Structure formats: structure tokens, C-alpha cells
Structure 1
Amino acid sequence: MVRITVQEKCASMGIFLKHTEVLDIINGQGRFEGELSSVESRYRSDNPESLKEIPVIRAYRDFYWKLGIDPTKTRPSGEALRRRVVRTGKLPRINDIVDAGNVVSAETLISIGIYDMNKMKGEPMLVLSSGGEKFEGIGNKVEILPPAIPIMIDGEGKVMHIFPHRDSVLTSVDMSTRDVLILGAGVAGIDPSLVEEAVRLTAKLLSKIGGKIAHEVQ
């Protein structure tokens, strides 16, 4: 079982995590088309401006403002997915593992991260950056991080994630991924049971395509 340490400085900001692992997945494409289509049909006619009144989104937005991030420009992931459905009628199709996370995030509005366990070393930690760490975001160039940013690092200090909205290409899921860490990102104002349920739902979806859930959500 993976154990994730949350530094006290991060916990004092209201940050908490829920996680589990799913093992021996055979990744593919298209096996969650029904779930993706169901989410699309439920939310494509929503008013996107009403999303900011939903307590979960409001909590993420408040947290973003505290970090100095404008949530009207950089959206919390669940909100971004819902807005995409309204704008285009469709969720992205990436691969089965990523699609499972997007289905649950769009439905629950909880930010879900999924990481290839074979690309990470040791036990992850959520810490505040010291400044100078390198971060290679998915689809972006390498950045040098400023201090006091909440980040998840692996046992070698590799930056896996900028909490709660950006993941690194270094531990990202691809078609060869078999074993994953599923992470639910919680902040002050969000019920921990909702974050726990979002992680559980993601793991349950991945179990439908052969994955073995390693343990109950922690």
C-alpha cells in the first residue's frame, strides 16, 4: 500500500488527500464510451455560470485565490470538464484510465489525479516547494517553480503534481500503464467523504477493465 505524507504546512492550508491503487490494468481505448456519453447527456444543457455557486467548486475557487491563481482563467478540473461539455457537448477521449478519472471528476466535481506507479519512486509527499524545483507539465515545457507552492513529490524529489490542478508528464498514464495511484484532492470546505467516494468510484471503474483494487480508500 502506498502511503502519502501531507506536510503540516500543507495540512494547515486545508489540504487533504484520499487515495488508493489499482493494479494489473490492461489499458485501452473506448471501453468507457457509455459512461462518457451519459455524463455528456446529463450536463450539456447546463448553465455554466451557475457552476460557481456549487459548494465544491466554490471551495476549490477559494483555495485557488489563496494560492494567487485566478480560477476564472485556470479552472478547477471538474468545473473545466463540465464547461467543456456545455461548450462542445463532449468530454475528451484519451485512454481508458484517464477517461475513468474524467468521468468521475465531471460527475462529482472532485479533482482526480491518476499516476503511473512504475514511473514514481518511493513514497509520495505533499509539501510546499522550496523554490527552484523543476516541473514538466503535460504538454508544457519545463518550469522552475517559485517557493511556497503545494506540490507532490516522489521519494526522489521528482515533482509529480502541482496541487490540485496540474500533473507532470514524468508520472503520467500512457497505453503501457498497468498500475496506478488514484488521488482525490481535498481542500477546506469540501466534505472528505465526497473526495473518498470520488476515488472509490474511479477505482471501481478501473476494476471493470481488469484492474485489482489494492485496498480501501485511505
Structure 2
Amino acid sequence: MYRQIKMSPQVETHLDGVKVYGLHLHLTPVDPDAKLEFKKEWDEIHSKWRGKTKAEVASEPLMAAYQEFYQRIGLNPKKYPPSVQNLIQRFFIKEDLERLPLIHPIVDAVNVAALQHLVPLGVFDAECVIGDIHLTFTQGGEPFQGLGESELEALSEGLLVLADDDKVLSRFCYRDGESQKITPDTHTIWLLGCQVPGVAEDVVKDSLAAGLDYLNRGYRCEKQLISVD
């Protein structure tokens, strides 16, 4: 059901025990006028984390596993917490749920699943992809336009990126690219989940399944077959 995303030999060697699983999906709205809501799920997440300190959130075993992964790819998890930890600490430890991290129904569905399972999930518009996707390290100088940025930047050497056959799509687990963002015109997506040491494969796949279930509330999701060399 899930495809394992290819990695360069260098990534496989340096990040032993890390695997990325994905679903390539075509989405058709069930009712274009309906609004996809997750109030019950947001409230449940808030109830679980309300009143916790940032330190208590960070000490959860799954959070710690992804912090270790961040360190392995050269990121400081105290300065740049993994995405699930960051969302919980920003929105859900407060006594009152003052606002929600709402972006787009597709992204919101995936974020709910990630927050429930404590596994960072990624979703992006697959129409931007040329060829196949894979994980690799930058050689240095690759152009990349980060989400929300108006200009391209040249990436330094040795950064872990998700790329296609033509370009860098994201700094993996750190920053998405402008070209792949979910928009109202998005119809085909990649949904990704990352397994790291200390996190069981089933936990990651269960989180992906939950994301698919939430997407099914508002979309008819058809799995797209990708030829693999």
C-alpha cells in the first residue's frame, strides 16, 4: 500500500535506520461546497496537551526520536523543533485553544493525523514533480525557493533534501518549497511519513492511514501507481 521513497547511497549510509513512506493520491472533492471540519479532533488534541510545559512535550519518547534525527541532519532541535512538537508547543499547551494552525483542508487533515500519532507527516502538490522523488544531500549551489519566499536561494553543501529529477522540492523535515505548496487548485498529492530509529514502522504507517482516513471525509482518494526502476 505504501511506497518506500528512494534514497541516494549517501543518504542510506549516513541515515541508517531512516525510511520514508509515501502515498501518491488523486483527490476529487466529494462536495465542493462542503467545509472539511476537525473541531472534535482539535479539541481532543488540546485536551491531551493542555497545561503541559514545553519541556514535558519535548521529553515524550517519539518527540525525542525525531529530535535525534534532526541532530543527525545538522539541525538544532531546540531552535527548530520537529513539526509535531512545534505545533503542540505553539498552539495546544495553552489553557485556552485560542487559534488553530489552519492552512488548507488537505494540510489540516494531515496535521490532525500527525498530531494524534506524534509522527511528522508531509503533504505537497504532486503536479509540480518532474520524474520521480528521492532523498539526497545537496552538492552545493542548488536553487531553492522556500515556502513564502519571493526569491531563490543557493543551498549550501550537505543538506538533506527531497528532490525530483529536476529540482529541490524541500529541505526535508525542515522547510517546504514554494513550488509544491497545496493550493485550491491541488488535485494530486504526495503524502509522506518518516520513520526514524526509535519509531516503529507500524506507527508511521498508522499515522499515514489516519491521514488518508481524514482526507476521505472530504475527498475521493484514488491511489496513483508510480513505476519504480
Do they fold alike, i.e. is TM over 0.5? yes
The partner residue of 1:153 within 159, 163, 168 is: 163
Root mean square deviation, CA, Å: 2.3
Taking the aligned partners of 2:121 and 2:88, their CA distance within structure 1 comes to: 14
- 1:57 maps to 63
Structure 1 residue 40: Cα displacement: 2.2
Amino acid corresponding to residue 106 of structure 1 in structure 2: L
- 2:22 maps to 19
Structure 1 residue 71: Cα displacement: 0.7
The 5-angstrom pairing of residues 136-215 of structure 1 reads 136-140=145-149, 141-156=151-166, 158-214=167-223
Structure 1 residue 213: Cα displacement: 4.2
- 1:128 maps to 137
Taking the aligned partners of 1:8 and 1:51, their CA distance within structure 2 comes to: 34
Taking the aligned partners of 1:143 and 1:34, their CA distance within structure 2 comes to: 40
Q: 1:40 to 1:133 in 2, by over 3 A?
A: same
- 1:110 maps to 119
Contact 2:160 2:171 (C-alpha < 8 Å) held by counterparts = yes
Does 1 or 2 have the higher relative contact order (CA < 8 Å, sep 6+)?
1
Structure 1 residue 72: Cα displacement: 0.8
Contact 1:112 1:185 (C-alpha < 8 Å) held by counterparts = yes
Q: 1:47 to 1:189 in 2, by over 3 A?
A: same
TM-score (norm 2): 0.84
Secondary structure at 1:24's aligned position in 2?
strand
Contact 1:134 1:159 (C-alpha < 8 Å) held by counterparts = yes
Structure 1 residue 215: Cα displacement: 7.0
Q: 1:25 to 1:137 in 2, by over 3 A?
A: farther
- 1:9 maps to 10
Contact 2:3 2:21 (C-alpha < 8 Å) held by counterparts = no
Taking the aligned partners of 1:213 and 1:202, their CA distance within structure 2 comes to: 14
Taking the aligned partners of 1:80 and 1:63, their CA distance within structure 2 comes to: 15
Taking the aligned partners of 1:153 and 1:119, their CA distance within structure 2 comes to: 11
Contact 2:138 2:161 (C-alpha < 8 Å) held by counterparts = yes
Deviates more, 1:10-19 or 1:77-86: 10-19
Contact 2:5 2:19 (C-alpha < 8 Å) held by counterparts = no
- 1:86 maps to 93
Amino acid corresponding to residue 153 of structure 2 in structure 1: E
| Larger-Rg structure | 2
Q: 1:203 to 1:68 in 2, by over 3 A?
A: same
Q: 1:142 to 1:186 in 2, by over 3 A?
A: farther
- 2:47 maps to 41
Taking the aligned partners of 1:33 and 1:213, their CA distance within structure 2 comes to: 26
Taking the aligned partners of 1:198 and 1:215, their CA distance within structure 2 comes to: 19
Structure 1 residue 136: Cα displacement: 1.4
Taking the aligned partners of 2:82 and 2:4, their CA distance within structure 1 comes to: 25
Counting aligned pairs with the same residue, the percent is 24
- 2:73 paired with 1:67: yes
- 1:32 maps to 38
Deviation digits for residues 191-218 of structure 1, max 9, x if unmatched? 12211111111111111112314179xx
- Listed as ranges, the gaps of 5+ residues in structure 1 are none
Contact 1:113 1:184 (C-alpha < 8 Å) held by counterparts = yes
Contact 1:77 1:109 (C-alpha < 8 Å) held by counterparts = no
